[in-house]
Amino acid sequence: MERLHKYMAACGVASRRKCEELIRQGRVSVNGVVISEMGYMTDTAKDTILVDGKAISLPPRRVYIMLNKPDGVISSAYDPEGRKTVLDCVPFERRLYPVGRLDYHTQGLILLTDDGDAAYHLTHPKYEIEKEYIAVVKGEVSRSEILKLQSGVVLEDGVKTAPAKAAITDMTEHTVTLSIIIHEGRNRQVRRMLEAVGKEVLMLTRVRMGELYLGNLKSGESRELNSVETAYLNSLK
């Protein structure tokens, strides 16, 4: 026996949280009966489970693809405005979805998978998985501004971010390059943190999620995770 929303995520329907939403919306049935209660237990070996009228089952193997998302690409499976999405960058027969989001103009590491458990453990705030970004900002960055980023800054909506790791990694006459490591996942968080200390972001790239590193993967390129990286994801579950 297994919880319905967990099994749905394992089948690659969506993240656990999204699967719970699908159940609440009455879009899931077990043996012809619509299920709307959270925590429903299902016998996955015997039950017929439909999502939006389509039967689901475990895929033969999990797929994990790392993409270096280019600037100007949407981090979702579908965009109603018809803009290019991360799935357009990685044509794949099996249904995949992105783990977390990068905003339209942020580039870098994003994971595409059909493993809802891995997505859940990589993105849920309680697991505090580190995400590292490289930001190029205009002008100078003072020590006091670095300390503010490190201790947490108050965003424009009044919310204070958790302490972060921040350090200068390079400088030119007109720009400063920063490494910023956070474990939260607020919308456009790193950009908003830098804006909160008065910095104009010229370029923002995510280079790491936990122990997954972007490395030398070029913009727009993708690759499947290797055995070591896959073992890391499995260790999170």
Active site residue 103: yes
Residue 184: both structure tokens together: 């939260």
Distance CA 169, CA 180 (A): 10
Query: Which of 47, 103, 157, 170 is the catalytic position?
Result: 103
Backbone angles phi, psi at 210, to 5 degrees: 60, -120
Cα–Cα distance for residue pair 198/220, rounded to 1 Å: 31
3-class DSSP string for the chain: CEEHHHHHHHCCCCCHHHHHHHHHCCCEEECCEECCCCCCEECCCCCCEEECCEECCCCCCCCEEEEEECCCCECCCCCCCCCCEHHHHCCCCCCCEEECCCCCCCEEEEEEECCHHHHHHHHCHHHCCCEEEEEEEECCCCHHHHHHHHHCCECCCCCECCCCEEEEEEECCCEEEEEEEECCCCCCHHHHHHHHCCCCEEEEEEEEECCEECCCCCCCCEEECCHHHHHHHHHHC
> Rounded distance, CA 223 to CA 230, Å?
13
Active-site annotation, residues: 103
